[in-house]
């Protein structure tokens, strides 16, 4: 169904995603209408498919962004929510998360590739500069596997590239009750989008969460320093 959701404009794309019941929540519909994909994706931005953005990175298909926002919505909309977007790519989902978050929420977006961080900032300045000037959205260069421990704990974490295993350093930056959406699996093997729910901040991190397999996916790898990445 998702491939049928392509549109000629951002509004048409979002309407098609809503009609297909991929977008199920009015707040997410509003956030995705406010974040015009045309500012973040080259080529055919309103096609419902992933696209390369350079530096071995991709921007995910719109339906995958919609799914991620739906799964993160409760954690991302709580009062004072702090949200981490790992592998921010061109900046699209970071902006959508910032539009979804409450007024006193904050989104931290990181990518290992400095050129992608600069691309994200430039793309955000096109129509969403208020998020930068208010510091509701902050971009920085960093190792996605390491996250941003000094900014946590986070209510919600989105990982936009596939980790070979659940990244425990990121799990450790979730608050109890927080949620992470992360693709997990080898680059050339079977990958699944996983929902990670933090249950406690006591004891070993590997025993502090539950995991739910959501769907099979295909993402570029979440790189260690020295490689590529993507949203």
- Mind telling me the catalytic residues? 60
- Phi, psi (degrees; rounded to nearest 5) at 81: -55, 135
Do residues 215 and 61 lie in contact, with contact meaning Cβ atoms separated by under 8 Å? Answer: no
- CA 174 to each of CA 38, 49, 103, 142: distance values in angstroms, whole numbers, following the listed order: 32, 30, 21, 18
Separation between Cα atoms, residue 172 and residue 49, nearest integer Å: 32
- CA 179 to each of CA 76, 143, 145, 218: distance values in angstroms, whole numbers, following the listed order: 9, 20, 16, 21
């Amino acid at each position: 169904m998702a491939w049928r959701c392509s549109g000629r404009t951002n509004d048409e794309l979002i309407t098609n995603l809503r009609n297909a019941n991929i977008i199920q929540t009015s707040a997410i519909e509003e956030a995705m209408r406010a974040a015009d994909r045309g500012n973040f994706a080259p080529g055919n931005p309103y096609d419902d498919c992933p696209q390369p953005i350079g530096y071995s990175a991709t921007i995910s298909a719109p339906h995958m962004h919609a799914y991620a926002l739906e799964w993160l919505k409760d954690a991302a909309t709580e009062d004072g929510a702090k949200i981490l977007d790992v592998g921010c790519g061109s900046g699209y989902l970071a902006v959508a998360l910032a539009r979804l978050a409450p007024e006193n929420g904050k989104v931290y977006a990181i990518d290992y590739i400095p050129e992608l961080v600069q691309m994200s900032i430039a793309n955000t300045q096109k129509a969403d500069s208020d998020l930068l000037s208010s510091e509701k959205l902050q971009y920085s260069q960093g190792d996605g596997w390491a996250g941003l421990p000094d900014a946590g704990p986070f209510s919600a974490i989105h990982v936009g590239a596939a980790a070979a295993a659940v990244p425990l350093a990121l799990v450790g930056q979730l608050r109890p009750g927080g949620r992470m959406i992360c693709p997990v699996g080898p680059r050339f093997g079977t990958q699944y989008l996983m929902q990670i729910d933090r249950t406690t901040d006591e004891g070993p991190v590997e025993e502090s969460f539950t995991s739910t397999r959501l769907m099979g996916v295909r993402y570029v790898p979440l790189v260690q320093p020295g490689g590529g990445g993507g949203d």
